[in-house]
Amino acid sequence: MVERVEVGAAAEAGRRPSPSESEPVLVVDELIVEHQDRASGEVFRAVDNVSMTIGAGESVAVVGESGSGKTTLAMAVTALGARGRGEIRLLGRPLASLSRRELRALRPDVQVVMQDPHGSLDPRQSVLSGFRELRRLQPQRTAWIDDEGLLARVRLSPKILRHYPHQLSGGQAQRVCIARALLMRPRLIVADEPTSGLDVSVQADVLDLLREVRAETGASLLMISHDLAVVRALCDQVHVMYRGRVMESGPTEVVFTNPQDDYTRQLLDAVPGAAWRAHS
């Protein structure tokens, strides 16, 4: 768990102590999400009886091949997609019972970093305008740092404040998205393939930034990824999904060095040149 500081220092550093740190940040209990195939009309389960818990300050990954249900799960737990059946409790509150107003009030505590950073940013807004909008909506929450200081935290020059998304590289756009998350001081960060499509050196920088944001905010992390090296570097716990079901769960090092499920072994064996079980 990431240690938090006292309230006075927290305001200066961008940390915000939680009123109940012992309570899980996210609880998913027997979640089922079904989709209908547009062509055939067939209904299939994208998420099939998935359960998981993320505690305060924990970093948890969901891994699996394309189509395994990872992103559907992420969209469900953030109320950005179909919620399905079962229970989702976010910051102690059942999503199914929240009104739209209550859900809007909860959103600043849950920040999403998506695979496509350019798609996450409003093409009509400069970086500065985007920050201003967040500050207008959440003035008390965002007052802890100015724009220049915020960009410095994600290793960006103040010059890009006037830039629009199309003027940013993929790495710069992803850093802006991380800066926006940091500005809100969330309790949960959901990162859906945040390094996909980026150069290797930029990927490493983005991972470092996610670590730093967690240290700044004390936030928990839910990482959605097919990149097992990224997961091993960043996450304490891992859930392996296949066709909507969780096939294996546990501490990342334990699962990666001594997998018990055949599908997990196949995923690990498919990583080129990786000696995943070298320490087993």
pLDDT of residue 272: 73
pLDDT of residue 21: 56
Give per-residue pLDDT as tens, 224-258: 998 888 898 899 999 999 999 999 999 999 999 99
CA 1, CA 3: separation in Å to the nearest integer?
6
Q: Sort 141 into a burial class: Cβ within 10 Å, 0-12 / 13-18 / 19+.
A: middle
Tell me the residue ranges of DSSP E strands in 55-161: 59-63, 85-90, 93-94, 110-113
Q: Does the pLDDT at position 3 exceed 70?
A: no
Phi, psi of 84 (to 5 degrees): 70, -150
pLDDT of residue 83: 80
Q: Does the pLDDT at position 213 exceed 90?
A: no
Stated pTM of the model? 0.86
The CA angle 266-267-270, to the nearest 5 degrees, is 85
| 3-state DSSP assignment of residue 209 | helix
pLDDT band for position 43 (cuts 50, 70, 90): confident
Q: Which amino acid is at 251?
A: P
Q: Does the pLDDT at position 31 exceed 80?
A: yes
CA 99, CA 247: separation in Å to the nearest integer?
34
pLDDT of residue 15: 46
Average pLDDT, stretch 166-180?
94
Average pLDDT, the chain: 87
Instruction: Check: CB of residue 249 under 8 Å from CB of residue 51.
Output: no
Which CATH fold topology does 7-122+184-269 show? Rossmann fold (3.40.50)
Highest mean pLDDT among 122-126, 194-198, 206-210, 217-221: 122-126
Percent of the chain at pLDDT exceeding 70: 89
Closest CA to 235 of 201, 270, 178, 190: 190
Q: Does the pLDDT at position 276 exceed 70?
A: no
Domain ranges within the chain, ordered by starting residue: 7-122+184-269
CA 125, CA 173: separation in Å to the nearest integer?
13
pLDDT band for position 8 (cuts 50, 70, 90): very low
